Amino acid sequence: SDSGAAVVDESVETIDGRHIEVAANVGQPAELEPAAQRGADGVGLYRTEFLFLDRETPPSEDEQYEAIREALDTFPDGRVVVRTLDIGGDKRIPYLDLPEEENPFLGERGIRRSLDPDSDLFATQLRALLRAAADGAGDLAIMFPLVDTVEELDAALEALDTAAADVECHDADAVDIEVGVMIETPSAAFMADELAARVDFLSIGTNDLTQYVMAADRENERVGDLHDPTHPGVLRSIHQTVTAAHAEDAWVGMCGEMAGDPDLTELLVGLGLDELSMSAVTVPEVKTAVSETEYSTASERGDRARLAATRSKVHTTLDT
C-alpha cells in the first residue's frame, strides 16, 4: 500500500525546531534498500530473527556479521538499531528445541531466553554485532528485548563487555556503540529511570507494552477494544518512560505499530518521543506529519490526552 505522501530525504523537525528521527522497522535484508528509498533516517528496529529462521542450525558469527554490515553500509550516515534475538512467545525456532510453555507470552521470551547460561547464541550474536560496528559505515546501536529488571539488563551488559573483550583480542578496533533497552512490560516502564541510567536509549515497543499494560491478547478480537495504545493507561506508561529517560539524558524511541500512524504523530511528539520507527511505507507520511506539528501545542495536547480519564476523551483531545 503506497501512500500518496512525497518522499522526504532530509531529516525532519517540527515547525518550532524540535528534531524527530524517523526510522524504519526492518525484518529482512531485502527491506533495507526500500527503507532507504522511502527516506528513513536509519533503522529503528532491525529484527534479527530472520537470521535464525528457515534453516537447520544457528547462523555462524560470520554470517551474522555480514548481515549486520549490510545494514550499516545501507545507512552510511544513519543509525541502525539492532534488536538481539527475540524468540519465545509466538516466535519459535524448531532446531533450538525450546520447551513447550503453558503460557508462552508470559514465559521465557526475549532477553530471558538470551540469558540462558546453557546457550552461547547470545555471546555469538554480540561478537558479530561488535565486529560489524567496527567495520560498517553507519552507526550501530544494540537493544535488548523484553527486559523487565535491572538484574537482566546488568547481565546483558556484562555479556556485552565480555563479547567486546573477546572481539578486541581479534581485531583491536575499539567499538563505540549505543546500547538501549526495549520498554515492553509494565515493570520496565516503572523501572525506566534505573534502566535509562545504565544505557543510552530506551525504545518503546507499543505492541507488547499495550498487550501487557492492558492484559489483553493482541490476537483476541474479544478484547480488541482493550488492545489499543490510545488508552490513557498506555499513554501514561509512555509518558512515564519518556520523562524518566530524559532525566537520565537518554533518548527515547518508539518502534511499535503506534509509531507508524500519522494520525498519532502529533500526540507522540507531544509526549516527548525523540525517534519514531515504523514500517517503511509510512515513513514519508510520518515525516510530513512531524514537519506540520508544533511541539509546544503538541506537548500541551499530549498532557491533556494522557490525563484524560477514558479512551474516548483521549480521542476528543486529539480531534480538537
For ligand PYR, the closer of residues 167 and 229 by Cβ is 229
Residue 9 amino acid letter: D
For ligand PYR, the closer of residues 155 and 182 by Cβ is 182
For ligand PYR, the closer of residues 238 and 290 by Cβ is 238
For ligand PYR, the closer of residues 72 and 188 by Cβ is 188
The three three-digit cell numbers of residue 238, written as one number:
509512555
259, 264, 272, 274: which is closest to 24 by C-alpha? 259
Please, what is the minimum distance in Å from the beta carbon of residue 47 to ligand PYR?
8
Please, what is the minimum distance in Å from the beta carbon of residue 187 to ligand PYR?
15
Please, what is the minimum distance in Å from the beta carbon of residue 127 to ligand PYR?
24
In degrees, rounded to 5, the angle at the alpha carbon of residue 141 between the alpha carbons of residues 140 and 145 is 140
For ligand PYR, the closer of residues 159 and 254 by Cβ is 254
Relative orientation angle of helices 61-74 and 121-135, to the nearest 10 degrees: 40
Please, what is the minimum distance in Å from the beta carbon of residue 255 to ligand PYR?
5
Please, what is the minimum distance in Å from the beta carbon of residue 199 to ligand PYR?
17
The footprint of ligand PYR (CB under 6 A) covers 45, 184, 205-208, 255-256
Rg (CA), the chain: 19
For ligand PYR, the closer of residues 134 and 153 by Cβ is 153
Please, what is the minimum distance in Å from the beta carbon of residue 227 to ligand PYR?
12
Please, what is the minimum distance in Å from the beta carbon of residue 130 to ligand PYR?
23
Please, what is the minimum distance in Å from the beta carbon of residue 312 to ligand PYR?
24
For ligand PYR, the closer of residues 256 and 284 by Cβ is 256
For ligand PYR, the closer of residues 147 and 167 by Cβ is 147
